[in-house]
Chains A and B, each alone.
Chain A
Amino acid sequence: MKPITVTLIVNGEPRTITTEPNKTLLYALRDDLGLYGAKDACGGEGECGACTVILDGEPVNSCLVLAGQADGCHVETIEGLAAGGQLHPLQRAFVETGAVQCGFCTPGAILAAKALLDRAPDPTDDQIREALSGNLCRCTGYTKMIAAVRRAAEEMSHVR
């Protein structure tokens, strides 16, 4: 397989990599860019959401996107969420609400929630549940994750 060159705008910064044409965005982030926040929990089948990133504003399973398909696109990963060293309200809410246990699903869940709040700043519980429904978690039973998203939404509405 002939390697391909791909430019991704990762957390606002253009990053050019030369990689295999069958490399997924998930493994381009992990293996080629050293960004390990996106996880593989289902074997790259789009079933668990642990690899969720925001691609041009939409939450996607990065295991289902080829790196080549994302050429020229904006990719938001968990590593870019804390702007200027300040945690995003969602990150802070996950920490303070006790929504983090083993943490393996946490980056994906936070990014799925961020994509929700980007388009629906004042979501209902059902909207939150739907937004998180692609992100499997075995530890928390989701109660505190849902509460964390609600709390972050409230905090962000005060800031606005």
Chain B
Amino acid sequence: MSADTFTVGKTEIRKDAWDKVTGAAAYVDDVALPGMAVGMVVRSPHHHARIARIDARAARDVPGVLAVITAADVPGSKTFGPLAQDRPALAVDEVRHLGEPVAIVVAESKTAARRGVKAVAVEYEPLPAVFDPTAALEPGAPQVHPGGNVVTRYDVAGGDVEAGFAQADIVLEHVFEVPRIAPGYMEPEASTAEWGADGTLTVWVSSQKPFEDRHQIASVLGLPQDAVRVRSAVIGGAFGGKEDSGLAILAALAAWAVKGTVRLVNNRHESFLAHPKRHPARLFYKLGAKRDGTLVALQATVHMDTGAYSSYGPAVGGLLTEMVPGAYRIPHVRVETLVVYTNSPFSGAMRGFGSPQAHFATESLIDMLAGELGMDPLELRRKNILRPGDRFFTGVPLDRTASSLPVILEHVAAARARLAAIPAPAGRVAGVGFALAVQSMGLGYRVPDDSTNRLEWAPDGTIRVYVGAPDLGQGLATAAEQIAAEALGIPYSDVRALAVDTALSPNGGVTCASRMTYVVGNSVMMAARQLIETLLAYAADKLSVPRAALAYRRGAVVLPSGETIPVAEFASRAADEEVPLRAEATFSFPYPEATTPKHLPVGMPHGMFVFGGQVARVEVDRDLGTVEVTNLVAIHDVGQVINRAGVEGQIEGGVATGIGYALYESVRLKDNGQWVDGFTEYLLPTAEDVPARIESVIVEVPEASGPYGVKGVGEITLVPTAPAITNAVCDATGVRVTAIPIVPEDVARAADPA
């Protein structure tokens, strides 16, 4: 596309990169405000306990301690939550997971705050705890909340699954397990809140959803929304885990309590224990096929552990349910998903949002079926992939967008052949595996799914983009700038996106769900058209000519004579008159009446999809069972590329996260009753654990409703990785892994039972 575009499709350099390589970029913890106090959180040492008594007197007497805040002090709503208000800002009478906030100590220094935290005496009466979702469903299981342990239950069917299995020549039944995953953003959660003399609060956040934070903070503080201003600092990664207002609420409470400025920064252990993770799940699958490989029926029951609080668990469960059949046409499907409370640290949104869990099971089982049928797993997929005109089991039809799947599959075939030709070194066995994936975009039907953004002509003729949703580090600001520049025909260097400030920015929605380039881009294009109209109306007025006599071209107003006047001439004048030239537009994610089924629970179905496939080559050490991913080819349909380096960056980062899912990562309960809660035991892939070059193949099938043909890419990039790797391990060793992360000893033992 770049041949006939201005900037779209080109690898422009992100504008914040310069500050980030010099250390000048200011994250929340890098800004010291005058008179700022330190907040630290007293956290539960128990998995589940009644709070008999909190005695903060000794803590208040510690020199330098300014305040100790408990639930009794919370002025507004004691609980909050994005979907259900089931989570106390500070524990009320009971703690439900290790690390739950019980009190905040505000002090003049870190040392005083630490002493204060130690001096808060909390008397607990331990209660029985449950950590496994299947166990939590048993009668007599410890009750995490009064209403029972089932948060949400979905039972969604397409076709008649019994009739489907009756047609099957072969039926496979297997159970899969996937672990609890920490988002692993490098910047732990941080928030600074400042109480103003006029009774308003300003809260700096590292968050995916400043507008939602404002709502939650106002609710817990008992303040009107307009008394709370939320500002986005530079964000050090998020991956879904920063769709959580917890720490911002605590910072706001602390500032309110001392009528001053307070910063709270989680250390990594606090981040592990008290911030959202990807749901662990147990997936019971039953798949039926004809002898020729035609898939006829799939039934799944899924137990998802959402931990002590629901967070986005119900929505994750909904999307997981939709994603169970993966990228395949299966006429008869039934999925039952149970989202279950336990006393584990809670799970919520994380990159993939239910899709990685479902795909691990589906893509493993497809390979297992191929093995049973004696068929090439590539042929089996070729026979069953979704194609334009097919429907998901929810009833959503697939249009031209699905034409990328067969293309992706042929890239998979080529990469597989190339990687299979690489010989294994001595002492190791090599194998090649692959997997396909589908990922929805957007929040789902009947969930507000809008994004409002604003363009403004600065007096010098450059453009300010008030993007209403934060850039998490992935490059949303760059995409918005490129799209604005393209739509207005001006250089990328003349466009600058501003950080979100709820007092100045329109509400762009939550940065999530692989939808941002699509929704923000569409909104920016709409705003650009309006902005040109606003400019020409203003210019016509100033020049005393009819509007129709003027045209706009590349940052200039064109007069009937052909003469041009730079926009700056008008923009500076308009600014002087305090009527700046600006335009704002709202784009709503489309859920077309004709193609959106109405029989499903709220949040279902999703209506737009991206597709991908990945091929992994692994080498397995025969003696140790350790797995090295030596090559990974990632093929993804993104609609059309806005910024190639940006898309590749999403792919490469997603793949590395997927490698961690397959091989290393699990927030698990240790024998000593403590959780894995730090990078000593929770192993993020390092530069030596991923291939030196992750190969990206970008397939472009333009999306008609997308800005310059864009779809999305944020989440799918890690979805096929784990099953591609376990399928490769099976190819190398014959060992089928049904629970990740892979345990090397198990692979070694199974590969060589002697």
Partner-B contacts on A (CB < 8 A): 20, 34-45, 47-48, 50, 77-79, 81-82, 87, 91-92, 94-98, 100-107, 110, 125-126, 128-130, 132-147
A102 to B108, CA, bound (A): 30
Partner-A contacts on B (CB < 8 A): 11, 13-14, 16-27, 29-30, 32, 111, 183-188, 234-237, 239, 267-269, 472-475, 645-646, 648-649, 651-657, 678-680, 684, 686-688, 690-694
Q: Taking CB as reference atom, which chain A residue is nearest B237?
A: A102
Known A98-B645, A141-B651; 14 more pairs at CB < 8 Å:
A40-B29, A47-B678, A87-B21, A87-B22, A101-B649, A102-B236, A105-B186, A107-B23, A128-B692, A132-B686, A140-B652, A142-B656, A143-B692, A143-B693
Q: Taking CB as reference atom, which chain B residue is nearest A96?
A: B13
Contact A95 B678 (CB under 8 A): no
Contact of A104 among B11, B186, B654, B691 (CB under 8 A): B186
Q: Taking CB as reference atom, which chain B residue is nearest A131?
A: B687
A88 to chain B, nearest CB (A): 9
Contact of A129 among B16, B237, B692 (CB under 8 A): B692
Contact of B234 among A40, A91, A103 (CB under 8 A): A103
A138 to B655, CA, bound (A): 10
> A residues within 8 A CB of B23?
35-38, 77-79, 107
A133 to B691, CA, bound (A): 12
Given A41-B187, A98-B646 in contact, is the A136-B686 Cβ separation under 8 Å?
Answer: yes
> A residues within 8 A CB of B111?
20
Contact A104 B187 (CB under 8 A): yes
A53 to chain B, nearest CB (A): 11
> B residues within 8 A CB of A37?
22-24
The residue among B17, B183, B657, B693 with the most chain A CB atoms within 10 A of its own CB is: B17
> A residues within 8 A CB of B26?
36
A141 to chain B, nearest CB (A): 3
> B residues within 8 A CB of A143?
648, 652, 690-694
Contact of B186 among A36, A38, A48, A110 (CB under 8 A): A48
A121 to chain B, nearest CB (A): 19
Provide 25 A-B residue pairs closer than 8 Å at the C-beta atoms, listed in order of the A residue.
A35-B23, A36-B23, A38-B23, A40-B29, A40-B188, A41-B236, A42-B679, A48-B268, A50-B186, A91-B21, A95-B17, A98-B11, A98-B14, A101-B475, A102-B236, A103-B473, A126-B692, A133-B686, A135-B687, A137-B186, A137-B687, A139-B649, A140-B656, A143-B690, A143-B694
Contact A47 B679 (CB under 8 A): yes
> B residues within 8 A CB of A104?
27, 185-187, 236-237, 473
Contact of A146 among B25, B236, B239, B687 (CB under 8 A): B687
Main secondary structure on chain B at its contact with chain A? loop
Contact A142 B17 (CB under 8 A): no
Contact B32 A34 (CB under 8 A): yes
Contact A144 B678 (CB under 8 A): no
A140 to B696, CA, bound (A): 13
A97 to chain B, nearest CB (A): 8
B215 to chain A, nearest CB (A): 25
Contact A41 B188 (CB under 8 A): yes
The residue among A45, A48, A126, A141 with the most chain B CB atoms within 10 A of its own CB is: A141
> A residues within 8 A CB of B692?
125-126, 128-129, 143, 146
> B residues within 8 A CB of A125?
692
3 A-B pairs closest in CB distance: A37-B23, A102-B473, A103-B20
Q: Taking CB as reference atom, which chain B residue is nearest A130?
A: B688
Q: Taking CB as reference atom, which chain B residue is nearest A77?
A: B23
> A residues within 8 A CB of B236?
39, 41, 102-104
Contact of A36 among B30, B645, B651 (CB under 8 A): B30
A102 to B26, CA, bound (A): 11
Contact B652 A144 (CB under 8 A): yes
Contact B474 A139 (CB under 8 A): yes
Contact of A42 among B268, B474, B655 (CB under 8 A): B268
Contact A136 B684 (CB under 8 A): yes
A125 to B691, CA, bound (A): 10
Contact B268 A102 (CB under 8 A): no
Q: How many A-B residue pairs have CB under 8 A?
A: 194
> B residues within 8 A CB of A147?
693
> A residues within 8 A CB of B653?
101, 137-141
A103 to chain B, nearest CB (A): 3
A20 to B223, CA, bound (A): 40
Q: Taking CB as reference atom, which chain A residue is nearest B471?
A: A102
Contact A142 B187 (CB under 8 A): no
Q: Taking CB as reference atom, which chain A residue is nearest B646?
A: A98
> A residues within 8 A CB of B654?
141
Contact B687 A138 (CB under 8 A): no
A130 to chain B, nearest CB (A): 6
B68 to chain A, nearest CB (A): 23
B67 to chain A, nearest CB (A): 22
Contact B686 A78 (CB under 8 A): no
B390 to chain A, nearest CB (A): 32
A87 to chain B, nearest CB (A): 7
A112 to chain B, nearest CB (A): 10
Contact B652 A41 (CB under 8 A): no
> B residues within 8 A CB of A35?
23
Contact of A41 among B16, B186, B473, B655 (CB under 8 A): B186
Q: Taking CB as reference atom, which chain B residue is nearest A22?
A: B111
Contact B652 A95 (CB under 8 A): no
The residue among A41, A82, A92, A129 with the most chain B CB atoms within 10 A of its own CB is: A41
> A residues within 8 A CB of B687?
128-130, 132-133, 135, 137, 142, 145-146
Contact A139 B237 (CB under 8 A): yes
Contact B20 A106 (CB under 8 A): yes
A18 to B398, CA, bound (A): 67
Contact B17 A43 (CB under 8 A): no
A123 to B474, CA, bound (A): 29
A42 to B677, CA, bound (A): 10
B658 to chain A, nearest CB (A): 9
A108 to chain B, nearest CB (A): 9
> B residues within 8 A CB of A94?
17, 21
Q: Taking CB as reference atom, which chain A residue is nearest B694?
A: A143
A128 to B686, CA, bound (A): 12
> B residues within 8 A CB of A39?
27, 29, 186-187, 236
> A residues within 8 A CB of B25?
103
Contact A42 B678 (CB under 8 A): yes
> A residues within 8 A CB of B16?
100, 103
Q: Taking CB as reference atom, which chain A residue is nearest B185?
A: A138
> A residues within 8 A CB of B691?
143
A100 to B688, CA, bound (A): 19
Contact of B237 among A92, A133, A138 (CB under 8 A): A138
A146 to chain B, nearest CB (A): 6
> B residues within 8 A CB of A145?
687
A122 to chain B, nearest CB (A): 16
Contact A102 B679 (CB under 8 A): no
A81 to B183, CA, bound (A): 31
A158 to B657, CA, bound (A): 36
The residue among B11, B23, B24, B239 with the most chain A CB atoms within 10 A of its own CB is: B23
Given A100-B20, A141-B653 in contact, is the A95-B13 Cβ separation under 8 Å?
Answer: yes
A107 to B188, CA, bound (A): 16
A78 to B18, CA, bound (A): 12
A28 to chain B, nearest CB (A): 13
The residue among B11, B13, B656, B686 with the most chain A CB atoms within 10 A of its own CB is: B686
Contact A141 B21 (CB under 8 A): no
Contact of A102 among B11, B13, B185 (CB under 8 A): B185
> A residues within 8 A CB of B680?
45, 47
A89 to chain B, nearest CB (A): 11
A35 to B26, CA, bound (A): 11
A98 to chain B, nearest CB (A): 3
Contact B239 A138 (CB under 8 A): yes
A77 to chain B, nearest CB (A): 7
A43 to B235, CA, bound (A): 18
Q: Taking CB as reference atom, which chain B residue is nearest A142?
A: B687
B551 to chain A, nearest CB (A): 37
> A residues within 8 A CB of B268?
41-43, 45, 48
> A residues within 8 A CB of B186?
39, 41, 48, 50, 102, 104-105, 136-139
